[in-house]
Amino acid sequence: MKFLKIITLGILLHSLPTITFATKAEVSDIGWVGLWNEEMIEWVENENQIYRLCEKDKSSPVQLEQCKEKHLSSKIWSINVHSEPSKNSPKLGELQIKVTPGSSFQASFKSINNKVIEFTPDLYDQDWGYGPYFHQTILNQKQEWFEVAIPGINSFAWINPKSDIQYIDVKTIEIGQVYTFNSKSIVIVKIDNDSIKYIIENKSDMWCDVGTPPKVPAGEVKSINISDLINNGHLLLDIKYKRGC
């Protein structure tokens, strides 16, 4: 895997108390919140940096191996899961993100009873060099708290990435982007308060060939209620071109 840091959607927030979105004509507050931070990216990249990290230990084979073992070991970051958007509310467990240099991020939920359930986030790409895409659907937001679906919990729960991993990455659906939805490739053309309007993707929407993309007749505009975009707490849309062309 290569380290190519591309964040194509969303807003990186480090200090703002709340998320501020653009107008409804440009983006929506429908989207995903990241379960990652920059420290994870740096740690997973150790595989590509190992000889630089252990350069001072090359004189001794033993020291070199010890250094490599240290920098190539797995680390776990935790995000607390609460029943309400407050640290004083009952804790239900924690999301654990396991990061192993050279490997994909791994997510699991560990309950207060120590039951562990592994899962794949709603917005995901195994190559951390793009995006990265390692996000869960936002169902509600109150300041820095996000309500999300958690595997193994019957009801939805709340997390505060800003507090627990000192990072917030929100990616929202946007006009002009290509998504997959119910096995179709669509392009959102308008976002209203209760619905989105879209057309079926054509080749010009993600033009990767040489020259100017050809003009095509305007496609039929269709509409879908925003409530129909989420099923059991999971956004049914997915970004189609996470890695570009």
Residue 65 backbone dihedrals phi, psi, to 5 degrees = -65, -40
Any domain includes 51: no
CA nearest 118: which of 87, 96, 135, 86? 96
Distance in angstroms (rounded) separating the CA atoms of residues 88 and 141: 17
The reported pLDDT for the residue numbered 59 is 66
CA nearest 182: which of 243, 126, 235? 235
Our count of domains for the chain comes to 1
Any domain includes 19: yes
Query: Which segments within the chain are labelled E, that is strand?
Result: 11-13, 27-34, 75-82, 91-99, 106-111, 116-119, 123-124, 134-137, 140-142, 145-148, 157-159, 168-174, 178-181, 184-191, 195-200, 222-225, 230-231, 234-235, 238-239
CA nearest 10: which of 22, 23, 24, 25? 22
Is residue 170 within 8 Å of residue 7, measured between CB atoms?
no
Any domain includes 42: no
Which amino acid would we find at residue 87? K
Any domain includes 56: no
Is residue 61 within 8 Å of residue 194, measured between CB atoms?
no
Q: 53-92 pLDDT, tens per residue?
A: 888 666 688 888 889 999 999 999 999 999 999 999 999 9
Any domain includes 122: yes
| Tens place of pLDDT per residue across the chain (245 aa) | 433 333 333 334 333 333 333 333 344 689 999 999 999 999 999 999 988 888 866 668 888 888 999 999 999 999 999 999 999 999 999 999 999 999 999 999 999 999 999 999 999 999 999 999 999 999 999 999 999 999 988 889 999 999 999 999 999 999 989 999 999 999 999 999 899 999 998 776 766 767 676 676 677 899 999 999 999 999 999 999 999 87
Which amino acid would we find at residue 234? H
Any domain includes 1: no
Residue 232 falls in which region: left (phi positive, over 0), alpha (psi -120 to 50) or beta: left
Distance in angstroms (rounded) separating the CA atoms of residues 230 and 181: 11
Distance in angstroms (rounded) separating the CA atoms of residues 178 and 242: 10
Which amino acid would we find at residue 129? G
Is residue 172 within 8 Å of residue 21, measured between CB atoms?
yes
Any domain includes 55: no
Any domain includes 140: yes
The reported pLDDT for the residue numbered 179 is 96
- Residue 131 belongs to what domain range? 11-37+75-239
Sign of CA dihedral 229, 140, 12, 234: negative
